[in-house]
Amino acid sequence: MNRKEIRQFLNEMDFIRTGGSDEELRAAELLKARCEALGVKSWLEPFPVEMAEIASATLTVDGVPVKCEGFKNCGSGAVEAELLYLPNTDAASLAAAKGKIVLIETGVTHFLFQDLVKAGIAGFITYTGDVHYADADVDKRELRSYVRMDSKRLGVNINAKDALKIVQKGARTARIEIDQREWMGESRDVVAEKPGKRDEWIVLTAHYDSTPLSRGSYDNMSGCLGLLCVLEALKNEELNYGLRLIFCGSEERGLLGSKAWTAAHEGELDKVALNINLDMIGSTMGKFIACVSAEDALVSYIRYMGAEKGWGVAARSGVYSSDSTPFADHGVPAVSFARIAQHNQATIHNRYDTPALLSDAQLQKDSAFIAAFTRRMATAAVCPVKREIPESVRKELDHYLNRKRRDA
């Protein structure tokens, strides 16, 4: 794409598109049409997702209303209890949490929530935003199924400014009331294919959904644009390995699209030689990185290729918090490319993630490097990346996917 086309695409996709929403479906149809315009077969693959619609959610602290958003899928009802600010979640801190509504410092993760339930909390409060921002936005959160397991507790999210006031005042009591409807809905992956000579594939992924406050230009319509640029660059070339592009839905809700695709196509994964994932490229400032969930030789290969092309890249082994993870967990070698800017340059998951964060020139350059790497893999006589996941990466996958706790 030329720079004008890049900006047109970013503006066309400049809207909030949370997983399972009508807006996500609209984005899926637009991406499908883009792939078809490039001359490749494209289709949607639906998968079920939990949905919720909150009719009302209120929080009062010491009798004073506080602006909040109820956690979706946390249930309905009311709870009133003593309020406890819980800056730490070690055993000593949790010993004081029984029967209380707790204000916590982090998001609600699997093991933390199980610890909170075991400690006997009555409800919970989280906060997002920044005390230094002019806005008082409150993000919408959900109590994900793999976090809550079989337990629910009423919870709300508030703005960081209000959280600070609550702690400063030494608030003593809180009341949470939530009324919501919960049901099973549908999200979808957008899939496009350019076959190669072999019945084997290089799978490229990028998620296209956003969080509730964000228009998701940097995170991650930039990655979707990168996939389209790779397809455009290679569409007329004869490839040994076919290209399968998957624009993943509901990534922001826990990698649900890539998890659904790898589960539904588990019997075909032995034909996937490599996964190349794009999540946040093209920012005006920031460091280009490659996170490799594969043999260390691929880390070296990417470093050498960067040196050959005069392209700065920080390559490392590990697990990236994106759609490469389910592929690696199924034994498919994977690499995630990103350009990571400092938070004060290109923030995500809030109202400030807009097309203004992105550089058309940098998007072209990032996409060109990724296309060159993809070309090398797809035209190889044999994909050089071994089909094995190092033990160190497997251990990190166990932690990331909540199979094992991290050491304290």
Domains and CATH numbers, the chain: 3-50+186-400 (3.40.630.10), 63-171 (3.50.30.30)
pLDDT at 169 over 60: yes
CA 290 to chain centre: 16
What does the angle CA 289 – CA 304 – CA 312 come to, to the nearest 5 degrees?
40
* CB-count exposure of residue 160 (10 Å: 0-12, 13-18, 19+): middle
Backbone angles phi, psi at 45, to 5 degrees: -120, 105
Q: Which residues make Cβ contacts (< 8 Å) with residue 284, sequence separation at least 6?
A: 341, 345, 346, 357, 358, 359, 362
pLDDT at 291 over 60: yes
Tokens of 167: 């702690």
Distance CA 370, CA 223 (A): 11
pLDDT at 407 over 80: no
Query: What is the distance between the terminal CA atoms of the chain, rounded to a whole angstrom?
Result: 48
pLDDT of residue 408: 57
Residue pLDDT, tens place only, 358-389 = 999 999 999 999 999 999 999 999 999 999 99
pLDDT at 33 over 70: yes
The number of helix segments (H) and strand segments (E) in the chain equals 12, 14
Cis amide prior to 277 (ω within 30 degrees): no
pLDDT at 41 over 60: yes
Task: Please compute the mean of the pLDDT values over residues 287-291 and round it to a whole number.
Answer: 98
pLDDT at 205 over 90: yes
Distances (CA, A) of 19 to 23, 139, 252: 9, 15, 7
Report the chain's mean pLDDT, rounded to a whole number. 97
Output the pTM of the full model.
0.96
SS3 category, 326: helix
Task: Please compute the mean of the pLDDT values over residues 225-246 and round it to a whole number.
Answer: 98
pLDDT of residue 183: 98
Q: What is the largest CA-CA distance in the chain?
A: 70
Q: Crossing angle of helices 222-234/22-37, nearest 10°?
A: 20
Backbone angles phi, psi at 111, to 5 degrees: -70, -35
> How many CB atoms are located within 10 Å of the residue 297 CB?
12
- Contacts from 389-393 at CB under 8 Å and sequence distance 24+? 389/293, 389/294, 389/328, 389/331, 389/333, 390/294, 390/295, 390/296, 390/317, 392/317, 393/293, 393/294, 393/317, 393/318, 393/319, 393/328
Give per-residue burial for 174-213: e unless 16+ CB within 10 Å, then b.
bbbbbebeeeeebbbbbbbbbebebebbbbbbbbbbbbbb
Distance CA 369, CA 313 (A): 10
